[in-house]
């Protein structure tokens, strides 16, 4: 629990105008970071699926043929 938001016994403490603005800004930054992370992760998975070269990873077949 964030000490600026909750008192020690769990009751909500109303935020002042400046603290509320910082909390909104931090929340927005976290959401933007999460969206950016998942966008990059999905782009990597799609790129791997499009440019996957199965023959590149056929080392086991070459080892058996040897």
Query: In the chain, which ranges are continuous DSSP H helix?
Result: 17-50, 59-65
Q: pLDDT value at position 46?
A: 93
Classified as helix, coil or strand, 58 is: coil
Q: Which residues of the chain have pLDDT under 50?
A: 1-3
pTM of the full structure: 0.51
Query: DSSP string covering 38-50, please?
Result: HHHHHHHHHHHHH
Share of the chain above pLDDT 70, in %: 52
The answer to whether the beta carbons of residues 4 and 15 sit under 8 Å apart is yes
């Amino acid at each position: 629990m964030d000490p600026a938001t909750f008192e020690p016994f769990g009751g909500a403490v109303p935020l002042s105008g400046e603290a509320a603005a910082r909390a909104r800004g931090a929340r927005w930054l976290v959401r933007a970071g999460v969206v950016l992370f998942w966008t990059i992760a999905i782009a990597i998975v799609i790129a791997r699926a499009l440019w996957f070269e199965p023959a590149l990873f056929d080392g086991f077949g070459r080892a058996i043929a040897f």
